[in-house]
Amino acid sequence: MTRFIVFLFLLVSCSLAAQDGAAGPRVPEERPHILWLTMEDTSPQFIGAYGNPYVHTPNIDRLAREGVRFTRAFAPAPVCAIARNAMITGVNPDKLGTGNHRSNYPIPDFIRGFPAYLRDVGYYTTNNAKTDYNTSRAKALIAASWDESSNKAGWWDRAPGQPFFSVFNFNESHQSRTMTHPRAWYEEHVLGQLPDSLVTRAGELEVPPVYRSSPEMREHLARLYNSINYADLKMGQLLDRLEADGLRDSTIIFVYADHGEAMPGGKATASGLGYRVPFLVWFPEAYRHLSPWETGSVSQELLSFLDLGPTVVSLGGGEVPDYMDGRAVLGPHRTPAPEYIYAGRNRLDETPDLARSVTDGRYLYTRNFLPRFPPQKPQKYADVSDIVRTIRADGRADRLDSLQRRILSPQPRKTLYDLEADPWELHNLADSPAHADRVKRMRRALEDHILAVRDVHFLPEVALAGLEMPYTWRLDTLAYPLAAGLSTALLDPARPAAAEQLRRDLMSREPLVRYRAAVALGQDSLSPPTAAALRAVLDDPHPSVAIAAAGGLLRYGVPDEGAAELLGHYALGKEPYRALSALQEIQYAGAARRSFLPVLREKLRQLEDDPGEDENLAYNLRSSVETTLFLLGEGELSY
């Protein structure tokens, strides 16, 4: 009997020692806990571990010293909602039709949020707290993915001994903090929360060459740095809680940003500064065997956000579904890195765009299909900020050099940047003879990828929004002649032979080809034959073709009452995506946009009376109108 009592006492003691926070040596769980620390809107060159001497990120830097630092990690889009959709689904946004910012399109029911596959094998999953999943199935994804998703969620409510996967989003470095909120808000809620030892001061900074060096710009950049400093401070507080709960030695920690830096020329642009992110993984001693890399090492392995779901499911012992496009970077199902990964920029808030990029980790090749629109497009959320107003004021006063003016100027049709030798992307190598073979290979890879995934965003958004299921519809080659549409979109109207082909394509039987021809012709100054060809399609049965043609005519100063009347008609129409496309053309109509003042004011009144059911669409429509009025000196912007 005495032996049985002693045995029972030892059994209970061992069990208690294995529970979280118990005294004595920690016995690792059979499967690792996994913690994600997600910074908002941050590029690698603004982190101490990546070589920046002006920032104060001691917690991230420590994890980098003790873990693995990746130098070639990329988001699939330079904005949060699209990148987060790719993370939670593991599927390329170009296939799902989720590439437009804060859109609300359906995705197939068989696509689950990847944390659901961890729940299947017993993990407790929490999200604190962003669920910007960019699809009409967001609620279903949330329900399947998370045991709890709220600003109170964390590992602390799991069952004793249960493995956890917990995500925390650190908004302290978000664009709202770095540039958009009023200065007084920043001073109270960011700067006022930092101890003096963690404050970056304007006088200490070196201004990147893409900006004019001025006292105002130094203050703007100091604000950005201090927002990152504050995010690191908050991370440290959470890591202290992990330590206090006795979980540090059984938890694999990921640190990354959801896309590039929230500064002009970064977030919202098809650039390395928009796509590339800091990415770190820290392994406790018990799970270092799961890492292919040594402690404190730097990896140049290519990594995409599409890899994150498969990687975490693999680490947790779950089953990675076949529909996911990424690979497991860690765990038993690890596979080799691909030669290239892909990214893109579509509509963001009210701003139009279509750009596609490919990278091998070092070089980034981008094809801009709307090159007449500058990198820093008029956008209410950005134009309300002091930093953008400073840049625009310097531009009007002719205080910017040719490099600094690029952000406000039309973009090249194609770019190639060496992100390692030239992290600020100063030198476009796309036409360099020394890089001709590389450009050819990467261009071919990008075009092949667009066709292979059947990229559905070459449709006008009004058509995409009307599809029952973009993911499956895109596979119908008769309904969606993407190869022909892409061939047209790739033509350069500045080349006489290409312009002639584009004019012929305006008469195609295929609406997609006509639309892409009208868009392409509107990206270059118009010859008389081109102007005549665009006038001829103002009565096209597909309004998207006519709207693109009207915009091209007015943008290049071709007087046409029919074009102006058509844009005004659709801007005031009830179809919101078509109205948005007309308002976008009005915003870029050059000298002609002042003639639309009555239309813009009427649209504001219309939105006040009936904003519509979709809050994001209503915001985009209103923002487009308000920003155009602001640029015309006929209104003010407020956050």
Task: Give kind and range of the element (H or E) at residue 414.
Answer: strand 414-418
Q: How many residues does the chain have?
A: 639
Q: What percent of the chain has pLDDT over 90?
A: 94
Question: The tokens of 587 are what?
Answer: 């915003």
Question: What gap in Å lies between CA 253 and CA 557, rounded to an integer?
Answer: 56
DSSP-derived 3-state class of residue 42:
coil
| 521, 530 Cβ separation under 8 angstroms | yes
C-alpha distances in angstroms, 270 versus 304, 377, 414, 417? 15, 12, 11, 12
φ and ψ of 520, to 5 deg: -65, -45
Res 618: pLDDT: 97
| DSSP string for 608-626 | HH---S-HHHHHHHHHHHH
Cβ neighbours around 156 below 10 Å, total:
14
Helices (H), ranges, 190-307: 215-244, 272-275
β-strands 164-170, 355-359 pairing: unpaired
Helices (H), ranges, 19-90: 58-66, 80-89
Cβ neighbours around 326 below 10 Å, total:
25
Q: Environment class of residue 398 by beta-carbon count within 10 Å: exposed (0-12), middle (13-18) or buried (19+)?
A: exposed
Q: Which residues of the chain have pLDDT under 70?
A: 1-29
Res 416: pLDDT: 99
Nearest residue to 81 via CA among 469, 398, 475, 345: 345
What pairs with residue 170 in β-bridges?
Answer: 39
| DSSP string for 461-513 | HHHHHT-S-HHHHTT-TTT--HHHHHHHHT--TTSHHHHHHHHHHTT-S-HHH
> 49: Cβ–Cβ under 8 A, 6 or more apart, which residues?
57, 60, 61, 64, 65, 69, 278, 280
Question: The tokens of 130 are what?
Answer: 């962003």
C-alpha distances in angstroms, 184 versus 180, 200, 405, 565, 637? 11, 17, 29, 44, 17
DSSP-derived 3-state class of residue 413:
coil
| 502, 475 Cβ separation under 8 angstroms | no
| 376, 391 Cβ separation under 8 angstroms | yes
Q: Which amino acid is at 524?
A: D
Task: Give kind and range of the element (H or E) at residue 546.
Answer: helix 543-555
Question: The tokens of 463 are what?
Answer: 């058509």
Question: What gap in Å lies between CA 637 and CA 629, rounded to an integer?
Answer: 9
Nearest residue to 198 via CA among 156, 234, 171, 151: 234
Question: The tokens of 269 are what?
Answer: 């642009």
Question: The tokens of 556 are what?
Answer: 């290049």
Helices (H), ranges, 276-379: 308-315
Question: What gap in Å lies between CA 99 and CA 85, rounded to an integer?
Answer: 9
Nearest residue to 197 via CA among 232, 238, 245: 232
pLDDT in tens, 102-117: 999 999 999 999 999 9
Which one-letter DSSP state was computed for residue 7?
H
Question: What gap in Å lies between CA 390 and CA 135, rounded to an integer?
Answer: 35
pTM: 0.95
**What spatial distance separates the first Cα and last Cα of the chain, rounded to whole Å?**
75
Res 23: pLDDT: 33
Question: What gap in Å lies between CA 491 and CA 325, rounded to an integer?
Answer: 30
Res 332: pLDDT: 87
CATH class, domain 29-176+228-338, is alpha beta
β-strands 164-170, 124-128 pairing: parallel
DSSP-derived 3-state class of residue 134:
coil
- Spans of all domains in the chain: 29-176+228-338, 462-631
Classify domain 462-631 at the CATH topology level.
Leucine-rich Repeat Variant (1.25.10)
Res 457: pLDDT: 98
